[in-house]
Amino acid sequence: MNFKTPVLELQGITKAYTKTTLLKQVKNEVLKGVNLTIKQGESVALMGPSGCGKTTLLKIILGIEKQDKGKVMILGKNTSEMNKITKKNILSKIGVIFQDPYSSLDPRQTVKDILSEPFVIHKKHFTKQTLEQALREVSLNEQDLEKYPHQFSGGQRQRINIARALILKPRLIIADEPTSALDVSVQAQIINLLTRMQNKYHFALLFISHSIALCKYLCQNIVSVQNGMLNKISGDEL
Ligand SMILES: Nc1ncnc2c1ncn2[C@@H]1O[C@H](COP(=O)(O)OP(=O)(O)O)[C@@H](O)[C@H]1O
Ligand SMILES: [Mg+2]
């Protein structure tokens, strides 16, 4: 693997769900041959209206859902051909920020538990200083380590999510509508934080959003899901 190997490559991803209505079962073809390549340090925005399959694609990349057809390559390796340990290892190179900062943090875990969990799962060494440093980077402070998610605002919770996503220094960050559950006043702070972190750590970014303005602000390349396939959108079309 070298630095020219794409961080993420999707080839012909196809996925259908079965919808059960009162009378019959209907096939809901969500993704129909999605191709996408993201190189080191590149930012790609994935746009499209609600229900078009953006989160489904994220789940397929992470192996939470299985595609019907197609390949997911992470750092040049096909995830379907990996054993469990290699897959777990390769997934530690991807940090994810979910849409809802309320449901994505376990209310029974302290911030310390939340931030140390990735190290525990991936059997990596960390110290209290590592966690404190991670919190400071997202403008929270050391004392927050002992607190629980309900003691924070939505924006602060999303900062904790960002700290967790970044904690293993991933090569790719996938942010699934990271600001759509937040007040407008804090949205800009979260976007600025993401930009600042990307400038510092040079991770590739897959930014999922339905806001054209945000996609344009954050990403060089914009693709939209149309009829289950991705279309590249050029600057003039926006
Ligand atoms: N687990 C599931 N079972 C059945 N249908 C699903 C499931 N997950 C998503 N869908 C359907 O797939 C489509 C795409 O959903 P999703 O990927 O969440 O869209 P988006 O993130 O773009 O809003 C929707 O029609 C949704 O109802
Ligand atoms: Mg979604």
The domain locations on the chain are 41-66+90-237
Q: Whose CA is nearest to atom 26 of ligand 1?
A: 51
> Could you give the CA distance from residue 211 to residue 185 in angstroms, rounded to a whole number?
16
Question: Probe ligand 1: pick from 20, 30, 61, 99, max atoms within 8 Å of CB?
Answer: 30
**Global confidence as pTM:** 0.94
Ligand nearest to the CA of 56: 1
Tell the residue nearest (CA) to atom 1 of ligand 1.
17
The CATH T-level fold of domain 41-66+90-237 is Rossmann fold (3.40.50)
Which one-letter DSSP state was computed for residue 152?
S
Does residue 58 line the site of ligand 1, with CB under 6 A?
no
For the chain, where are the alpha helices, taking DSSP H only?
54-62, 84-91, 111-121, 128-137, 154-166, 184-201, 212-218
pLDDT in tens, the chain (238 residues): 566 899 999 999 999 999 888 888 999 999 999 999 999 989 999 999 999 999 999 999 999 999 999 999 999 999 999 999 999 999 999 999 999 888 999 999 999 999 999 999 999 999 999 999 999 999 999 999 999 999 999 999 999 999 999 999 999 999 999 999 999 889 999 999 999 999 999 999 999 998 888 999 899 899 999 999 999 987 666 6
